[in-house]
Amino acid sequence: MVEKKGVLFMLTKVKTLKGYKLSCIDGEIGTVKEFYFDDHFWAIRYLIADTGNWLVGRQVLISPYALNGVNNEDQYIVINLTKNQIQNSPSLASDKSISRQYEEDYYKYYEWPVYWSDPNIGVTCGLYPSIVSGQNQKKLMDSTQDDKGWDTHLLSTHEVSGYNIQATDGEIGHVEDFIIDYETLEIRYLVIATMNWWPGKKIMISPKWIERVSWKDSKVFVNLLRETIKQSPEYTDESLITRDYESKLYQHYNQQGYWSDEEAMKRI
């Protein structure tokens, strides 16, 4: 974890990464379009590339296994694959959803362990991105192994942006962005714009407080009262997500910060 004056640089907005160039071993392949995540562990499972006129008509999925670094200054992400590897990978039409069969073919092609637990595959593994060296994925791996046979439901960050937030006593706003963790590629927060209930305020909520996501209703259900959300620490686009800010946020909801579990894991 890189920290300077309380700023946690491993946290960034999805919209900040959109448009970053994708640099493969033998050249650029396009830019970041969006991400697919699962609503079970709230972890990024694929980066979707906008390849322009290359590989037209198909989705180009990049697994976290292939991510080898992020250069924020020059705005590009390093992909540890060749263009030929990507071009010859299992094809998925741009208008098709990601099926489990496609994922099995995808991971078999690259000879990577899958991120889900499936007795038919015989391999169990959690997310292991290489975006930051030295990260510890034991927590995610253990959680995946404990939930054998969980049904993956992948959602796109582009699609969920705009979903309404349903509190226990009514709607309160909509999803505007996602805050992801460079180190684990977990979604740490959803940025919520509440101006359709009261003007001008944005707040952040943790996926830990989300009850479920309904793609049918285009809603995210949270087990929180609207007034509780209203009184939470405000977030702005200029805000720096410091540990102090995060602590105040979790204290407001009377919850323990996710970093407490991670620090405990390091002591084991």
Is 80 exceeded by the pLDDT of residue 80? yes
Other beta carbons within 10 Å of 151 = 9
Q: State phi, psi for 53 to the nearest 5 degrees.
A: -90, 5
What's the rounded Cα separation, in Å, for the pair 49 and 27? 14
Please give the pLDDT value at position 133.
Answer: 31
Q: How many Å is the maximal CA-CA distance in the chain?
A: 53
DSSP code per residue over 52-116 = TTSSTTEEEEE-GGGEEEEETTTTEEEESS-HHHHHTSPPEETTS---HHHHHHHHHHHT---SS
Please give the pLDDT value at position 197.
Answer: 64
What's the rounded Cα separation, in Å, for the pair 211 and 201? 23
Q: Which CATH architecture has domain 17-146?
A: Alpha-Beta Complex (3.90)
- 221 or 113: which leads in pLDDT: 221
Share of the chain above pLDDT 90, in %: 57
Please give the pLDDT value at position 18.
Answer: 94
For the chain, the structural domain boundaries read: 17-146, 161-267
Residue corresponding to tokens 């640089």: 9
Q: What is the CATH number of domain 161-267?
A: 3.90.50.10
What's the rounded Cα separation, in Å, for the pair 235 and 238? 8
> Do 161-267 and 17-146 fall under one CATH topology?
yes
Please give the pLDDT value at position 19.
Answer: 94
Please give the average per-residue pLDDT across 59-83, as a whole number: 91
Is 70 exceeded by the pLDDT of residue 114? yes
CA angle in degrees (0–180, nearest 5) for 76-184-165? 95
Highest average pLDDT, of 57-61, 121-125, 233-237, comes from 57-61
Give the pTM: 0.80
